[in-house]
Structure 1
Amino acid sequence: MSELVSTRIRNTAGKLGLPHLAETINEYTRRADEGKMGYLVFLDLVLAEELAVRDDRRFRQGLRLSKLPHHKTLDEYDFSFQPDLDPRKVKDLATLSFVAGKANAALLGPPGVGKTHMVAACRVGYSICSTSLDDMVRNLKAAETAGRLTNKLGTYLWPSVFIVDEVGYQPLERAEANLVFQVISKRYEKGSIILTSNKTFSEWGQVFGDEVLATAILGRLLHHCEVISINGSSYRPKKRLKAIERDTNVA
């Protein structure tokens, strides 16, 4: 390929928003020559790799914007420590296949069993926003006081997947619970919610300070919802013991 043609392809790729092609055109042509590729095979190669690069870029941007607390994978999760948990169900949930149907997911269990870890392992290229329930309520109350509640609600309504972590760690006042209801109600059948909670659904009346309001929230959440209950003990002490043992061995 002449330098003139190569330069023209780079310029055109840049204008089309294909920076990877602009950077690697010589590598593509080398591979085409070595593999004696036909025109269609070469075009398929270029398009497939450009799509893979774009999907990876979209995922990384989504991960950054999601504010997920950890960069985790399910390979790091110790399923042997939760013998009653079905790994296949968890891995299927992590594909976010339920998002296409605007359905929800709930992970229930005591602190330290890995609920947030599982949520952070969701790695499909949807727009994602993540928050703890306490932070969401705090932000909504501040926005309501400042007369910007509608705008702040939009923050939690636009993403395809909205993650609400740590539901139930602090009881809410009724006015606070009503703000949560507004978010859940407005997302109902319009966008997916993933939540983690250390409380059973029967205890949500205490969490939200009102049985009727809790029932209304649950009605919308559970209408289309995958529920995973994790009843094992916390493996945080286990991880801590491993760290202590490792430090002791190093010493």
Structure 2
Amino acid sequence: MKEIERIRQYADALRLTMLKNQPESLIHQAQIDKPGYLEFTRMLLEQEVKQRQKTDLDRRMKMARLPKDHNLESYNFNHSNGISKPQLRELRELIWLNQNYNLILMGPSGTGKTFIASGLIFDAVKAGYKAYFKTMEELISILRLKEMTSSALNAYNRLLKAHLIAIDDIMLFPMKKNEAVAFFNLIDHLHEKCSVIITTNKSPKQWAETLEDEVLATALLDRLLYRCEVLKLDGNSYRMENRKSIFN
């Protein structure tokens, strides 16, 4: 038992989490399989790498703050909304992300904008990118509070280092002048450094009305649309067609 405890201590000092937490099971399995020294060493290192990769993925998934439904493997193509299977497949390959392209998903409520956006964030995180999903309300709150709270400042700094950010329901509600300027400054900083996914039920021409500033709206669109794919989704609301009832 002293040897096991010493192994735990050494593993803890070296931050070998798998070996620290499960030395008995690893040693017991080795006693059964009787691997050579080289194979046993490789197996220990392989287990540690896999554990660290899983821990890192879990952490990044948590930080992405995805909505409940976000796996595009379950996308229902029977519900026609204007995006084809080949188009979605190409988006999921994330080549556009490496090229710093933006994506605007535009259409009425219930046409799959949020699901597609969060699904692409999910795919990006799995692929190793720093990717985050934010509603416009959450983003405005971060911009408003970043000078006052450390949590908002940390969230803002993470966005500055992101590879991909999805902003859901942009321009749904009017913004105050200082909020609109702060939002523009963020987009300006991210321009050609980070890809942005926008979901909106308003056309770019209507953004000026929401911002109440045509010059600012033009400058914002100039940066977002420079390298950008605009997908116009349409059709009936998926939620309304598949709504649940207490008495079903």
The interval holding the TM-score normalised by the smaller chain is 0.7 to 0.9
Secondary structure at the aligned position of 1:112 is classed as coil
Cα distance, 1:21–1:188 mapped onto 2, change above 3 Å: same
Question: Which of 68, 71, 76 is matched with 1:70 structurally?
Answer: 68
State whether structure 2 residue 209 is matched by structure 1 residue 215.
no
Secondary structure at the aligned position of 2:168 is classed as strand
Aligned residues: 241
Q: CA RMSD in A?
A: 3.5
State whether structure 2 residue 203 is matched by structure 1 residue 204.
no
CA positional deviation for 1:167? 0.9
Question: Which of 130, 133, 155 is matched with 2:133 structurally?
Answer: 130
CA contact (8 A) 1:70 1:117 kept: no
CA contact (8 A) 1:70 1:120 kept: no
State whether structure 2 residue 157 is matched by structure 1 residue 159.
no
Counterpart mapping for 1:52-67 below 5 A:
52-67=50-65
Question: Which of 230, 234, 237 is matched with 1:231 structurally?
Answer: 234
Secondary structure at the aligned position of 1:79 is classed as coil
Counterpart mapping for 1:1-251 below 5 A:
5-32=3-30, 37-70=35-68, 72-82=70-80, 84-94=82-92, 96=94, 98-121=96-119, 122-123=121-122, 124=125, 125-141=128-144, 154=157, 156-240=159-243, 243-244=244-245, 247-249=246-248
- In structure 2, what residue type is equivalent to 1:248? F
Greater alpha carbon shift after TM alignment, 50-59 vs 63-72: 63-72
> Which string of whole-angstrom CA distances, capped at 9 and with x for unpartnered residues, describes residues 2-30 of structure 1?
x5554433322222222122223343445
Q: TM-score, normalised to structure 2's length? A: 0.76
